[in-house]
Structure formats: structure tokens, C-alpha cells
């Protein structure tokens, strides 16, 4: 999947793509046709950089309801010829999730589209998962023959069906179909369930990896073999070393951490970091400075997992390095630093935004650190990250940091956060948004009464306002 093109943050489309609360507020104030065009663009062209951790579906579904939007463009997207050519989940997943939420709100047209797509669409498994949460038993039973017809009636088809049943995210439809009296439905699904259970049992009997009695050298060989086939085994290999290594092996492990092959070096560095060996920090620095890219990356990860005071102290000296170890050191100070480390964390925050932009991965830790350390003068750069980042997860972290550093947060960004796409961001808003704004009380009441809202958000509302939110 190509990275999405994100519109400027000051436009309606850019706000909706980011999932910002202001996106909803601006859409409701804009001409309806313009708002629906921007909304459909987002739903049909998923704007998320990481759809597995960022939320948009409930946010877009609520706006569809507020705008009384039609589903004709979603229907065309799902059932067009492209569905046969591009079968990646990411092409249709967001649209199906939006339909699922709309079905929960009573939109029967959304429910009908989900049923039809589960019967005929390429990404039918996603649609079936949405229906498993929302449809009644009769609606699911009616799909049995259509879904089972996707699997040929031979050994290959039965094997595919068994794997599908075994790995199903929502098992409810398969359980219903297993009870179906028709031999082509119930008997076949039950056989697939039994085959999937047997396959899982067989895999448990064929474990791969270390065995009792392995030596340190055997663990190193296993780590190197993993790299050869593309599997990074530094952490599990380090745990194995913890089980098999004795005092007599310490010199060999030190030597592997200093100049071993990449797999062995990564395992040794992680093992020494976990055991808080006094020499590991120098070995980490050497691996970053002179080792291969794989060894350097392993060294940085090993350092980040260290939790002792010696790691924090060394981070103060590394924080201004212009490499990955410097970035890692700044991250360590942000998460585990103390009073007096504010200047280093703030400097890293400003430099990261300046050089890498508002979506840099390092910003997650630095933003959290600015909030944890209460760095008040970080508020301007935090506000910039909040406005510009395309990551709703990072924006949520930034909102929490602003709550700890920016006196204007309660009357500013906290209000729009009540409409944000991320439930954790709405939770922060429910805790901080100033009630003197008339929109806040009304929004809190709606969220408290919405069955689709997350329990943590509703709990925050009740903790602040008491159980009778209608009195607000």
C-alpha cells in the first residue's frame, strides 16, 4: 500500500484525514455536499499510515450520521471491478468498518451492504467479522452457503477452510454454521473445526528453537541461522543465554558482543544489557560506531531495554549524538530521566521536529517526556505537533502532554478533542475540557449516552460529572 497523501492541516479534508475533532466541527459548518465529498474521500482512500493502531471508523461513521450521508459511493467502491483486481484488506477495510458502526446505529442500508459484500466481495472475511458483532442469527445463517461456496469441495479447499475457521477473528458465524442440519454446511464446518484443532495440536508437538542442554555456542548459531532466513532472534536468544550460560561463559559472551557475527552479537548485547553487566554500555557504543547496521540496531534496542540508573546517566552524555544512539538516549531520558534533564529532552524535541517533521517516530517518546517532566516551554512546539501530525496516536499523546504543560489547553484543544477519532484523546478531553464552553456539556452528555463510546471515556465523564450527566 502506498503512503497516503495528506492534505494541509488547515483544510477540511486535511482535518478529516487526521481525525481531528475540528474536522467534525468544520464539516458540520460547511456546505453539506462539500463535507460529504471530503468524508467519502477519507473513507474510500484510507488516510492512516498505520491502520492497525489508528482509529477512524467510528469517527467517520458518526459524521455520516450527523450529515445523514448516503452510502452510494461506498457501495460503488466495494462492488466495482477493482474489488476483483486489488484484494488487499487495506483497500476496503476502513469502508467495511464504517458500515459496521453505521449498522450498530440502526442504519439498515449499511447492514444490507455488509451482508451483500460478505456474500460476494473479495474482503469477505472482514465483512463477516463486522456482521458477527452486529447481525442477528438469521442474517448470519443466510450467508453460510455463499461463504462455504468459496472453498472447493476437495482436499485443497477443505484445508483452506480449516485454516480460515481456525484463524477466524470472530468465531460466532462458524459456531452457528456448525449447528446447521444441512450436510453441506454443518458437517463441513464441524470437520473444518476438528481439522483446525488437530493442526494446532500438531504444531504444539513440533516446537522449533532451543532444546535443553544447548550450549552458548549453539544459541549463537541459532541466532545467526535466524538472521539468514530473515528472522531477528536477538531477544529470544538472549533469554536462552540466560538459561544456559554460566560464569565460565562470560568471557565468550563478552567477546561475541565485541566482535561476533551479527546474530551472536545482538544476542550477547541483549543478554549483557538484561544482566546489567558493567561493560555493556561501552560495548553498545562500540557496536553503534563500528558495527554493521544490524549490530548497531541491536545495540540501540538493547540500550533502550536497560532500566538502571547507569543507563540514564550514560544517556545524558549520548543525547546530543547525531545518530540512532543519540535518538535512543533522548528517548531514555524522556521516559526515565529526572528533574534537570528537561533541557536535553526539550532540545531533542525541537531538533526532531525541525529535522524530521511532525510525524517522526521518536516524537512519541519525546512528547510523553515533555508531559512527564512538565516542560512548560515545550508547549509551542507541542501545539505545532498537535496541529500538523498525520498520526492520530501521536496527536493523542501530544494532547496529554499539553494538558500537563499548556495552561490554555482546557479552553483550547481540549474542547475539540471531545470529537477526536481516538478514544484515549476523547478521554483526556473529558477530564480537562472547560465546562464554560456550551459545546462541552452537550458533547459530554452525548458521549455518555452513546452505546458505541468506549467505557474509559464514559467512565471519565462520570468521574468528573457524576452519574447523572443529564444535569450538566
Query: Is residue 93 within 8 Å of 51, Cβ to Cβ?
Result: yes
Average pLDDT over residues 37-58: 94
Q: How far apart, in whole angstroms, are the C-alpha atoms of residue 394 and residue 391?
A: 5
Res 212: pLDDT: 52
**Is the pLDDT at 33 greater than 80, yes or no?**
yes
Query: Is residue 23 within 8 Å of 15, Cβ to Cβ?
Result: yes
| Burial class of residue 42 (count of CB atoms within 10 Å of its CB; 0-12, 13-18, 19+) | buried
Give the residue, 194 or 74, on which the prediction is more confident. 74
Res 204: pLDDT: 46
Q: From residue 394, how far is each of 81, 94, 258, 329, 398 by CA, in Å?
A: 36, 20, 37, 20, 6
Res 199: pLDDT: 53
Rounded to two decimals, the pTM is: 0.88
Chain segment 300-319, per-residue pLDDT in tens: 999 998 888 899 999 999 99
Chain segment 436-467, per-residue pLDDT in tens: 888 999 999 999 999 999 999 999 999 888 76
Percent above pLDDT 70 for the chain? 94
The three-class DSSP label of residue 434 is: coil
| Burial class of residue 138 (count of CB atoms within 10 Å of its CB; 0-12, 13-18, 19+) | exposed
**Is the pLDDT at 349 greater than 90, yes or no?**
yes
**Is the pLDDT at 392 greater than 50, yes or no?**
yes
DSSP designation for 467: S
Chain segment 106-154, per-residue pLDDT in tens: 999 999 999 999 999 999 999 999 999 999 999 999 999 999 999 998 8
3-state secondary structure 180-232: CCCHHHHHHHHHHHHHHHHHHHHHHHCCCCCCCCCCHHHHHHHHHHHHHCCCC
Q: How far apart, in whole angstroms, are the C-alpha atoms of residue 370 and residue 402?
A: 9
Tell me the pLDDT of the chain averaged across its residues.
90
**Is the pLDDT at 1 greater than 50, yes or no?**
no
Q: How far apart, in whole angstroms, are the C-alpha atoms of residue 48 and residue 209?
A: 36
Q: How confident is the model at residue 196 (pLDDT cuts 50, 70, 90)?
A: low
Q: How far apart, in whole angstroms, are the C-alpha atoms of residue 350 and residue 366?
A: 10
| Burial class of residue 104 (count of CB atoms within 10 Å of its CB; 0-12, 13-18, 19+) | middle
Amino acid at each position: 500500500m502506498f503512503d497516503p497523501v495528506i492534505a494541509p492541516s488547515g483544510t477540511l479534508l486535511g482535518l478529516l484525514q487526521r481525525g481531528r475533532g475540528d474536522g467534525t466541527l468544520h464539516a458540520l459548518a460547511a456546505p453539506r455536499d462539500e463535507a460529504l465529498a471530503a468524508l467519502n474521500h477519507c473513507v474510500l482512500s484510507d488516510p492512516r499510515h498505520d491502520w492497525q493502531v489508528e482509529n477512524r471508523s467510528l469517527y467517520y461513521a458518526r459524521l455520516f450520521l450527523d450529515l445523514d450521508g448516503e452510502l452510494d459511493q461506498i457501495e460503488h467502491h466495494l462492488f466495482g471491478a477493482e474489488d476483483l483486481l486489488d484484494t488487499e484488506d487495506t483497500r476496503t477495510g476502513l469502508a467495511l468498518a464504517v458500515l459496521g458502526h453505521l449498522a450498530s446505529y440502526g442504519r439498515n442500508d449499511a447492514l444490507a451492504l455488509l451482508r451483500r459484500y460478505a456474500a460476494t466481495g473479495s474482503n469477505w472475511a472482514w465483512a463477516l467479522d463486522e456482521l458477527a458483532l452486529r447481525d442477528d442469527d438469521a442474517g448470519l445463517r443466510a450467508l453460510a452457503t455463499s461463504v462455504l461456496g468459496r472453498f472447493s469441495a476437495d482436499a485443497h479447499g477443505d484445508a483452506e477452510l480449516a485454516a480460515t475457521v481456525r484463524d477466524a477473528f470472530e468465531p460466532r458465524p462458524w459456531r452457528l454454521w456448525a449447528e446447521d442440519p444441512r450436510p453441506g454446511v454443518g458437517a463441513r464446518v464441524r470437520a473444518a473445526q476438528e481439522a483446525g484443532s488437530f493442526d494446532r495440536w500438531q504444531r504444539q508437538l513440533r516446537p522449533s528453537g532451543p532444546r535443553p542442554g544447548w550450549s552458548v555456542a549453539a544459541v549463537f548459531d541459532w541466532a545467526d541461522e535466524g538472521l539468514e532466513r530473515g528472522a531477528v532472534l536477538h531477544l529470544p536468544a538472549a533469554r536462552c543465554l540466560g538459561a544456559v550460560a554460566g560464569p565460565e561463559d562470560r568471557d565468550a559472551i563478552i567477546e561475541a558482543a565485541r566482535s561476533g557475527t551479527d546474530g551472536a552479537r545482538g544476542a550477547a548485547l541483549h543478554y549483557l544489557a538484561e544482566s546489567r553487566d558493567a561493560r555493556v554500555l561501552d560495548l553498545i557504543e562500540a557496536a553503534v560506531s563500528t558495527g554493521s547496521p544490524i549490530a548497531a540496531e541491536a545495540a540501540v534496542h538493547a540500550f533502550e531495554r536497560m532500566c538502571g540508573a547507569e543507563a540514564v546517566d550514560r544517556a545524558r552524555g549520548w543525547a546530543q549524538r547525531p545518530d540512532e544512539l543519540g535518538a535512543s538516549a533522548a528517548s531514555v531520558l524522556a521516559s526515565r530521566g529526572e528533574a534537570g534533564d528537561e533541557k536535553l529532552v526539550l532540545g531533542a524535541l525541537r531538533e526532531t521536529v525541525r529535522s524530521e517533521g511532525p510525524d517522526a517516530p521518536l516524537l512519541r517518546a519525546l512528547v510523553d517526556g515533555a508531559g512527564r517532566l512538565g516542560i512548560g516551554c515545550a508547549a509551542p512546539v507541542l501545539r505545532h505537533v498537535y496541529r500538523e501530525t498525520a498520526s492520530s496516536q501521536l496527536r493523542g499523546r501530544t494532547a496529554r502532554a499539553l494538558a500537563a504543560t499548556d495552561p490554555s489547553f482546557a479552553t483550547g484543544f481540549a474542547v475539540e478533542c471531545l470529537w477526536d477519532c481516538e478514544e484515549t484523546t476523547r478521554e483526556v478531553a473529558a477530564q480537562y475540557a472547560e465546562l464554560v464552553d456550551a459545546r462541552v456539556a452537550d458533547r459530554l452528555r452525548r458521549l455518555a449516552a452513546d452505546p458505541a463510546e468506549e467505557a474509559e471515556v464514559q467512565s471519565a465523564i462520570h468521574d468528573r460529572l457524576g452519574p447523572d450527566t443529564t444535569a450538566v
